């Protein structure tokens, strides 16, 4: 039989052990749950989850940019912000991919003005003629770093520019064709075409620039 004098000690011991084991537990992260979707959609569009955010679709160079905001943010503001950021990312993605693939690494060692001008444009330039091709957003309930459930707004913007228009602006960025080394200029054009062909479907790869009637296409411009 347990003496009454020992009961408080036993209760205190179990309480201490319980607190110690509970404090060592890791937070639980439950799966995200979609609360609301753009246009009452029943599922997320395939283009939102594309493995490669930069690709060619028909005659357009397309970039998909995603953004996350707090759950009380306006979807229109989130989509517009994603589109504006994506617009500046198209050129940077082209430069990064061409550099990583080695297509301009050797050429960029040259001090030719065409190289310097093109790299400056790819790093800091602004494209004209960019259009919004798709919008999507969804409000999700998900776990934060501590395991607490929070509401967040996830949005994606699908923006694009006609390949011919992009090539024209990159060509213009190289400067006057009469200055600099003509061989370096030719290699830059070849590297540019090679990269764009590499992100296109086989049926869209051509030996000459794609001819597109830009004026005839509907423009939902970001400008």
**CATH code of 169's domain:** 3.10.129
Give the three-class secondary structure for 222. coil
How far is residue 149's CA from residue 200's CA, in Å, rounded to a whole number? 41
pLDDT by 10s per residue, the chain, length 223 = 555 554 454 444 444 444 444 445 566 667 888 999 998 888 899 999 888 899 999 899 999 999 999 999 999 999 999 999 998 889 888 888 777 766 666 666 566 788 888 888 888 888 999 999 999 999 999 988 888 899 999 999 999 999 999 999 998 988 766 566 778 888 888 888 888 898 886 544 443 333 222 223 334 556 5
Residue 220 forms part of a structural domain: no
How do the residues of the chain divide into helix, strand and coil, expressed in percent and rounded to 5? 45, 20, 35
How far is residue 46's CA from residue 152's CA, in Å, rounded to a whole number? 21
Residue 11 forms part of a structural domain: no
Classify each residue of 162-172 as buried b or exposed e, where b means 16 or more C-beta atoms within 10 Å of its C-beta. Answer: bbbbbbebbbe
Nearest to 91 by CA among 200, 179, 173, 19: 173
Residue 133 forms part of a structural domain: yes
Per the structure block, which two tokens stand in for 136?
């999507």
Q: Residue 90 is part of which domain span?
A: 28-211
- How many structural domains are present in the chain? 1
Asked if 131 and 161 touch (Cβ cutoff 8 Å), the reply is yes
Residue 103 forms part of a structural domain: yes
Give the three-class secondary structure for 132. strand
Q: Is the pTM of this model over 0.85?
A: no
């Amino acid at each position: 039989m347990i003496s009454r004098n020992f009961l408080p000690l036993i209760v205190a011991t179990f309480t201490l052990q319980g607190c110690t084991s509970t404090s060592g537990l890791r937070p639980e992260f439950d799966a995200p749950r979609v609360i609301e979707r753009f246009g009452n959609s029943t599922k997320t569009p395939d283009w939102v989850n594309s493995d490669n955010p930069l690709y060619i679709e028909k005659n357009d160079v397309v970039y998909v940019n995603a953004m996350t905001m707090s759950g009380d943010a306006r979807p229109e503001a989130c989509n517009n912000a994603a589109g504006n950021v994506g617009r500046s990312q198209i050129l940077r993605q082209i430069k990064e991919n061409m550099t990583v693939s080695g297509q301009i690494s050797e050429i960029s060692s040259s001090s030719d003005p065409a190289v310097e001008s093109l790299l400056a444009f790819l790093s800091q330039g602004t494209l004209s003629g960019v259009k919004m091709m798709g919008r999507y957003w969804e409000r999700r309930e998900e776990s934060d770093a501590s395991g607490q459930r929070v509401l967040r707004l996830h949005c994606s913007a699908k923006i694009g520019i006609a390949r011919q228009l992009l090539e024209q602006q990159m060509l213009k960025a190289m400067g006057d064709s009469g200055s600099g080394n003509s061989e370096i200029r030719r290699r830059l054009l070849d590297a540019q075409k090679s990269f764009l062909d590499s992100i296109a479907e086989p049926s869209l790869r051509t030996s000459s620039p794609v001819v597109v009637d830009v004026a005839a296409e509907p423009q939902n411009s970001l400008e």
